[in-house]
């Protein structure tokens, strides 16, 4: 057993100093020293069945804790398998560190196993990247990677670590030079020249003192809104009769300040819609919280505050906001401030800090906006009544809106909801209500399918006592069903609910109506519950609407006893979200 210090132990020491508790991986020879050293350093090594799952799990840890998540994958296909998950993190502005193995430094571009230009592949999809070339670079470049991941506009970073920098120097020299009895290249002139070259190369790899690992410092660059912008926003808001605020995921980047953020929204007293990671910030029944009819409410507003959300497809590229309305945009990203729509006031800065500063600068206007709040509440009530009527409609199979309503009724205060799917999961956004801040995880603006298992993995590790629900469509479950094995092996009892209507319904609904053909959109109502059983979880088939409450309650009970659960719900097709496809 190798016990001397090596590159893998240096990586582990940096991770410990940065507050990393978990490293997500799929094993490979290029990165074995990192995994073994991390385990020995007290970091929990979580091995998944697909590299994208490892990155999605790291992403979830970052979103929920604020500490950059870490994934380590082997070279070549191990690295390329993470691209979609990395791009999802980039667009969601999620701070994570991906460590990619690489071929030995002296074998680069010589036809070695899994040797490709990984940095060129990742350059467009990460915030920062580096290729480590010597042992003395490991510590400082990894520390720099963590800083870049967190500061300013957070995002993923990529660090490439060749295999010969991770193993002990003695082992690496034997790889290159052979043993004394059997030297590499033989004993002739060519062999001696080759060994001399390799010796010089090895000396460069391992020469020089290794820098000490520095403790992580909390201080990173957080864009702070300027006082002038706060004052002007206060004047605009003070003059408004029908103000509306949309709080996006970016407002949740300062996880330690979510309670102050919620208090500031309460102090402002204006109606608010919560999007993405901000769902659950105000609980379930807050009087300022709006959940339905956002487009209609925006049409009637005379001032709109976008806190951490740009005018992208979710707001019809800004066209949902009337030209007559004042628009205040707050974002860490200067490009997002004016995307598709020039605001009345653009404030670069952290949205949570802006909202808190604005609340401090503005006296409460609750009474002034009471009629506007009452009108919006009436709109919410009418829409809830419409959805309630749809829940009672008879469909062939389980009514998906009723199922989601019943799931909502079982959510405990600490529950975390992971959204991974199209039609079924989008319906959940109208009916499943997160109970607390940082309890809703969806992919973000990339709309990536396949996040479910990875997000749930990260969430359950951070919050082992909470119920973690994965809401799957029957299309999206195909991406990560195999991870039921991971949940079983790691002792992480999540609750997965598959809305199984035998098709890619979000696509099929529009495709059939416009093009008259369902090609490529039909699936079988497969026995996902049996697959889950084969992977060590407990599977439930829900095909009888009358059995729904019993199955859900039993599934929760089984999960709380320590076994992962998957409910295969054979749902009927509905027209609830007709016309909702985004482009």
Q: Is residue 89 part of a domain?
A: yes
Question: Which among 354, 377, 400 is the end of a domain?
Answer: 377
Q: Is residue 166 part of a domain?
A: yes
Q: Is residue 216 part of a domain?
A: no
Q: Is residue 341 part of a domain?
A: yes
User: Is 355 in the same domain as 408?
Assistant: no
Under 8 Å between Cβ of 397 and 543: yes
DSSP code of 113?
T
> How far is the C-alpha of 184 from the C-alpha of 191, rounded, in Å?
7
User: Is 167 in the same domain as 247?
Assistant: no
Q: In this predicted model, what pLDDT tens digit does every residue of 393-434 receive, in sequence order?
A: 888 899 999 999 999 999 999 999 999 998 899 999 889 999
> How far is the C-alpha of 389 from the C-alpha of 378, rounded, in Å?
17
Q: Write the CA distances from 218 to 58, 141, 577, integer angstroms.
A: 19, 18, 44
Question: Which among 377, 408, 434 is the end of a domain?
Answer: 377
Q: Is residue 383 part of a domain?
A: no
CATH of the domain at 274: 3.40.50.1220
The boundaries of the domain holding residue 66 are 7-206
Q: Is residue 214 part of a domain?
A: no
| pLDDT for res 77 | 95
For residue 393, give the nearest of 381, 405, 382 by alpha carbon: 405
Q: Is residue 248 part of a domain?
A: yes
User: Is 463 in the same domain as 546?
Assistant: yes
User: Is 150 in the same domain as 273?
Assistant: no
> How far is the C-alpha of 133 from the C-alpha of 105, rounded, in Å?
7
- Within 8 A by CB and 6+ apart from 219, the residues are none
> How far is the C-alpha of 19 from the C-alpha of 462, rounded, in Å?
13
Q: Write the CA distances from 314 to 1, 153, 295, 311, 320, integer angstroms.
A: 55, 21, 10, 7, 9
> How far is the C-alpha of 265 from the C-alpha of 359, rounded, in Å?
7
Q: Is residue 217 part of a domain?
A: no
Three-state DSSP class for 86? helix
The two three-digit tokens of residue 489, written as one number: 């092996």
Under 8 Å between Cβ of 292 and 430: yes
Task: Please state whether 442 falls in left (phi above 0), alpha (psi between -120 and 50) or beta.
Answer: beta
DSSP code of 29?
T
* Signed CA dihedral, 236, 238, 241, 242: sign only: positive
pLDDT (tens digit, 0 to 9) for every residue of the chain, 583 residues total? 455 789 999 999 999 999 999 999 999 989 999 999 999 999 999 999 999 999 999 999 999 999 999 999 999 999 999 999 999 999 999 999 999 999 987 778 887 778 888 999 999 999 999 999 999 999 999 999 999 999 999 999 999 999 999 999 888 888 888 865 566 666 676 667 777 877 887 888 888 788 888 877 657 889 999 999 999 999 999 999 999 999 999 999 999 999 999 999 999 999 999 999 999 999 999 999 999 999 999 999 999 999 999 999 999 999 999 999 999 999 999 999 999 999 999 999 999 999 999 999 987 666 689 999 999 999 999 999 999 999 888 888 999 999 999 999 999 999 999 999 988 999 998 899 999 999 999 999 999 999 999 999 999 999 999 999 999 999 999 999 999 999 999 999 999 999 999 999 888 888 898 999 999 999 999 999 999 999 999 999 999 999 999 999 999 999 999 999 999 999 998 777 666 666 6
CATH of the domain at 540: 3.40.50.970
| pLDDT for res 452 | 97
| pLDDT for res 574 | 78
User: Is 107 in the same domain as 239?
Assistant: no
> How far is the C-alpha of 251 from the C-alpha of 332, rounded, in Å?
10
User: Is 421 in the same domain as 348?
Assistant: no
* Buried b / exposed e along 355-377 (16+ C-beta atoms within 10 A): bbbbbeebeebeeebeebbeebe
User: Is 257 in the same domain as 335?
Assistant: yes
The pTM for the full model equals 0.95
Q: In this predicted model, what pLDDT tens digit does every residue of 29-50 receive, in sequence order?
A: 899 999 999 999 999 999 999 9
- Within 8 A by CB and 6+ apart from 572, the residues are 395, 396, 397, 398, 399, 400, 501
Please tell me the total count of domains within the chain: 3
User: Is 129 in the same domain as 249?
Assistant: no
Under 8 Å between Cβ of 119 and 162: no
User: Is 351 in the same domain as 400?
Assistant: no
């Amino acid at each position: 057993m190798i016990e001397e210090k090596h590159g893998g132990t240096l990586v582990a020491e940096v991770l410990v100093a940065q507050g990393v508790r978990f490293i997500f991986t799929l094993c490979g020879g290029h990165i074995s020293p990192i995994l073994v050293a991390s385990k020995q350093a007290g970091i929990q090594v979580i091995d998944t069945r697909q590299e994208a799952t490892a990155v999605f799990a790291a992403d979830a840890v970052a979103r929920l804790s604020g500490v950059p998540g870490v994934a380590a994958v082997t070279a070549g296909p191990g690295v390329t398998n993470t691209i979609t998950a990395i791009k999802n993190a980039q667009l969601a502005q999620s701070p994570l560190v991906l460590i990619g193995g690489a071929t030995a430094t002296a074998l680069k571009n010589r036809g070695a196993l899994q040797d490709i230009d990984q940095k060129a592949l990742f350059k467009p999809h990460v915030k920062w990247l580096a290729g480590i070339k010597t042992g003395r670079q490991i510590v400082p470049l990894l520390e720099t990677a963590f800083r870049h991941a967190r500061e300013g506009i957070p995002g993923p970073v990529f660090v490439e670590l060749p295999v010969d920098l991770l193993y002990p120097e003695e082992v690496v020299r034997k790889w290159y030079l052979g043993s004394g009895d059997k030297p590499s290249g033989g004993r002739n002139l060519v062999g001696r020249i080759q060994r001399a070259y390799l010796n010089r190369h090895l000396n460069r790899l391992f020469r020089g003192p290794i820098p000490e690992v520095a403790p992580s410092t909390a201080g990173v660059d957080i864009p702070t809104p300027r006082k002038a912008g706060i004052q002007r926003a206060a004047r605009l808001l003070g003059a408004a009769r029908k103000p509306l605020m949309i709080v996006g995921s970016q407002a949740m980047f300062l996880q330690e300040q979510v309670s102050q953020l919620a208090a500031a929204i309460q102090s402002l007293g204006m109606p608010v819609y919560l999007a993405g990671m901000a769902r659950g910030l105000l609980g379930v029944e807050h009087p300022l919280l709006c959940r339905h009819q956002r487009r209609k409410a925006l049409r009637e507003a005379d001032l709109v505050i976008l806190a951490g959300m740009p005018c992208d497809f979710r707001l019809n590229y800004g066209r949902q906001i009337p030209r007559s309305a004042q628009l205040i945009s707050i974002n860490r990203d200067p490009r997002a401030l004016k995307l598709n729509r020039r605001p009345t006031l653009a404030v670069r800065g952290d949205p949570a800090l802006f909202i808190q500063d604005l609340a401090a600068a503005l006296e409460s206007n609750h009474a002034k906006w009471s009629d506007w709040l009452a009108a919006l509440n009436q709109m919410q009530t009418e829409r809830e009544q419409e959805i309630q009527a749809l829940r009672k409609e008879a469909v062939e199979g389980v009514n998906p809106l009723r199922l989601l309503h019943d799931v909502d009724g079982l959510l405990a205060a600490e529950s975390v909801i992971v959204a991974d799917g199209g039609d079924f999961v989008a319906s959940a956004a109208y009916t499943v209500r997160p109970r607390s801040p940082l309890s809703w995880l969806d992919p973000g603006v990339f709309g990536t399918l396949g996040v479910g298992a990875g997000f749930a993995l990260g969430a359950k590790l951070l919050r082992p006592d909470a119920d973690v629900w994965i809401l799957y469509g029957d299309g999206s479950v195909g991406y990560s069903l195999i991870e039921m094995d991971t949940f079983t092996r790691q002792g992480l009892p999540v609750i997965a609910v598959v809305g199984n209507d035998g098709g890619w319904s979000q696509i099929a609904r529009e495709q059939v109506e416009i093009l008259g053909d369902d090609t490529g959109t039909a699936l079988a109502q497969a026995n996902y519950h049996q697959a889950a059983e084969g992977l060590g979880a407990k599977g439930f088939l829900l095909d009888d609407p009358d059995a729904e409450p019993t199955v859900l309650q039993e599934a929760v009970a089984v999960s709380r006893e320590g076994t992962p659960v998957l409910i295969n719900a054979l749902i009927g097709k509905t027209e609830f979200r007709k016309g909702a496809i985004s482009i």
